[in-house]
Chains A and B, each alone.
Chain A
Amino acid sequence: MRTLRLTFMALFLVAVSAAHARQQAVTEGQAEYVLDKLSQRLRSRPAPRADIRKIYESADLDAYLRERARAYLSTPEFAETLSYHLDELFFIKAPLVSDRLLNKIEPKAYSESEAERFKRNNALSNLFRSLARENRSWDELLVSKSYAAYDGSLVSGIDASDLGFYSAVADVLSPISGLVRVLSDATGQPDANGYPMRSPTRSVVKLDFGPSDPRIAGALTTSRFFNRYTNTAINKNRRRAAAVLRIFLGKDMVPAIGTGESIDHELNKLAYGQGFEVSATEVTERLRDPHGKNPACYKCHQMLDPMGRVFASSGSILGSEPSPGALVLPERKLIQNVEGVGQLADYIRRQPEYVETQVRALWEWFVGKDIPLFRPRLKQMTELFEKAGRRSQDFIAALVSQPEFRSPELFLNKPGELESIEARAIFNTNCASCHTGDAAGTQAPAVSFDPLRIDDQDAAASAQEVYRQVVRLRRMPKGHKLSDDQVELVRKWLATGAIDGDGKMQITPGSVQ
């Protein structure tokens, strides 16, 4: 049976890779599968029957699939789908209208509230959609200097407008100032999504800043980004920096202080452990040093603190002056001083970590999270990203023409590949912060996932120790427990050879027990 599967897979791969060369290399059945997948991934809905029917009339199925992909990429549903993914990436609330659009609920069937209008029409979501609609460079997420900002009214408990956010940098109070021009206002006409502007008294206002304005940086300088990643006196914009590092550079920061607890309590716990209550001043003094000297803290803070400073001139709204800071990437010993958030964004988009993180995200959204993207393939995809000029539609069109997309899922996976992806996530979340080898007071040995190492032990010995501590004795991680599923996943990863980021086995399968 397994031989049969492998044979089929091999045949299928040959067929797919030769698709460009030979007409009808894709069968109608396969084309139907691919077409439906294209529609699902790009439009969040099944392929139209008419499109499916045309498969059986088409002389060149491969060309037809490519044409349909392009057509789907130009639909409003694709804009909403991409926007939805970006909402998730930014951890912001998706607008209800996206649900309704994607679920084919007619606009007239409901009354959109002011809050919903804002969620749909704000500067950040409009930027997301414009990336999709206008095939803009993905970099615009970071470096765009234009916004379609929503001039909304008050909704209790929600910030249903974002013009005020720019009030210190743009004289939006005078809508005819040259800087601001009204895109669509009291006309009641349908907006770009085909939805009527319910309130004739509100407008979407176009804000255009200079191409080198150091205060402006695409999604980073929007009211929703600021409101999502709030700032406090203690936080000093690190929360915003952490979001930037996660979203654009693939660096997850683990917050030491929870956001839902009393800050005093959390600080006490952090500085003195449970059960001690001292004054906030003492805590601050005590914490001052660890931030600068304790490697466990410094590991993240050396990136967070200088990046956070680019937001320092802003309070509730965007500050009128740029604030200097720095992009620090310790692995590559990169310290790049910047004049403001605009320059920070410009430097970020030039980093290989940025390209890899964005390509990975787009791969997961459109090819599939369950299709591994190991390093050699990632390199090919980053080259494709550059070749497409980093333009959203062009790159996604290229992604969905890859064999991994067109083949039935899981066929390409070797045993242990999926576990490798999941195990890496578990390692990053649960192990990496303490097992740096230099975390003061923890006595935790240095552990790396890729290559698998505990201090200077080889992969086989390290794997054995991971198995003992995590799977058999369940001693690790300290402070909290992995779920049974997570432990089982680590076990499977080890049992199948501890596949690394290149897709290669680091140990002999079955050698760990």
Chain B
Amino acid sequence: MEKSKLAFLTLSLAVCAAVSASAQGPSYIGGTRTAGPGGDTVETFPLGPSVVENKTGTRRLVWADGREATVSVGRTRQFSARVPLKFQENGCVSPDIKLPNCSLRVQFSGLTYGIYWTKHPDPKRINMPITAPNGEVLRTIPGVGELHFLAPHLATGAKPALECDSWDWLPVRTISRWELQSMSPNSETGQSDNQNELSMLGVKLAPAGTRLEISSIDKIVAKQAGQIGLFISLDDIAWYLPHPAFGDPSSRSCQMTLRMDFTAVMPDGFSAEELRQMAMNGQIVEPFDETNQIHREIRALVTFNNPRVPSFDTIESFFFRREWLDLKCVGTSYPPFCSQGIDWSQTKERPLQ
């Protein structure tokens, strides 16, 4: 046992020394890049596997003991639904104006991914996902209905849109803040309380026929890990609209509160329960393989534990740059990229599976 530890230590030191000798400086994501055989670029990290990128941009994770893995991504079946919105409280629009019937039309689609073994001494492990030290499968879903804002290059179909009988009541085209709240544990008291969980700042609306399409979002911040769903909420939704469009002239913004009426979802063929199940389970119905996607996934995962990348208790999506290379886990995380902490050292040291 001691011997194997010593051997491992020696090997690690040797790798570190080699890396240090041939270092070309730290790369963007913190590893050390060197030229590999066949024109591959090998990015080595102090702990864990190297990331090998070939000329076509495909990347794979390579362990010193010969194990290899790559990312496989799936996408859920896409479908759209119309969810009626009920105004709960109106602090913005004059009581003389009748609020219209409104609903949110949103396309549901999710991603699911895993890092799968491609080379492994145990043949049963091939094509099986890597498991984290805590035993969880490194696979998750990014939620539903928000690919347009989180992964635009993967999104298809129309963007989410507001549908209302009329638009006279809403002369602005930006919702300053769109907030979702839910009952969740208070990190200071341990007791559950109703709280704002996710904020979308600068939600821009653009006309699309009779609808107002959600064209862009400046920033997304969430409090808790595992926050799913930018648009779907079982609890109150608050809109903060900029003053002086409406409301109290002494205030710089006004607030409207809404709820989604899931009892009356116009599901294009799905019930509310089915929607929920699909959202939660992230069923893979379309195998999905995109080279760029794989390399971006790997980079995202590697980036997670990078000391140069701040991670916050809120998330800020860099997806808007349409470059997942810039993905940073800013905050408590947004699945799938931040919530799965990978301890590379343990991945390397644990016995082969």
Contacts and interface: CB of A to CB of B under 8 A. Distances in A.
Interface of A: 91-93, 151-154, 156-165, 167-168, 172-173, 175, 185-186, 200-202, 223-224, 227-228, 230-236, 259-260, 263, 280-281, 284, 309, 312-313, 315-317, 321, 323-324
Contact of A228 (B86, B188, B329): B188
Interface string B70-93: 000000000000000011110000
B179 interface: yes
A173 B328 contact: yes
A168 B223 CA distance: 14
B223 A316 contact: yes
B314 A233 contact: no
B147 interface: no
A93 B187 CA distance: 9
B329 A316 contact: no
5 contacts: A164-B313, A164-B332, A260-B192, A284-B89, A316-B197
Contact of A167 (B86, B194, B312, B332): B312
A491 B79 CA distance: 70
Contact of B313 (A160, A185, A235, A315): A160
A280 B235 CA distance: 12
Contacts of B58: none
Interface string B242-286: 000000001111010101000000000000000000000000000
B286 to A, nearest CB: 30
A236 B91 CA distance: 11
B332 A92 contact: no
Given A223-B313, A230-B195, A231-B195, A324 B223 contact: no
B123 interface: no
Given A157-B224, A159-B332, A281-B88, A175 B310 contact: yes
Contacts of B237: 233
B330 to A, nearest CB: 6
B251 A236 contact: no
B103 interface: no
Contacts, number: 167
Residue among A165, A167, A313 with the most chain B CB within 10 A? Answer: A167
A232 B198 contact: no
A224 B187 CA distance: 8
A173 B310 contact: yes
B307 A186 contact: yes
Given A152-B311, A164-B330, A316 B191 contact: no
Contact of A259 (B193, B255, B329): B193
Residue among B87, B89, B237, B329 with the most chain A CB within 10 A? Answer: B89
B238 interface: yes
B181 interface: yes
Contacts of B189: 91, 93, 228
A173 B89 contact: no
Residue among B221, B224, B314, B328 with the most chain A CB within 10 A? Answer: B314
Contact of B186 (A162, A228, A234, A323): A228
B298 interface: no
A227 B316 contact: no
A164 B199 contact: no
Contact of B312 (A164, A175, A201, A315): A164
A232 B328 contact: no
A165 B222 CA distance: 10
B188 A316 contact: no
Residue among B192, B311, B313, B332 with the most chain A CB within 10 A? Answer: B313
A315 B310 contact: no
B199 A315 contact: yes
B157 interface: no
A4 to B, nearest CB: 50
Q: Which 4 A-B pairs have the closest CB atoms?
A: A164-B312, A230-B195, A315-B199, A164-B314
B139 interface: no
B236 interface: yes
B305 A230 contact: no
B198 A154 contact: no
A440 to B, nearest CB: 23
A90 B311 CA distance: 26
Contact of A260 (B191, B198, B221, B305): B191
Nearest to A92: B188
B191 A159 contact: no
Interface stretch (B108-116, B161-169, B333-341): B333-341
A186 B308 CA distance: 10
Nearest to A261: B194
A264 to B, nearest CB: 10
A223 B201 CA distance: 18
Contact of B221 (A173, A232, A235, A315): A315
Contacts of B314: 164-165, 167, 316-317
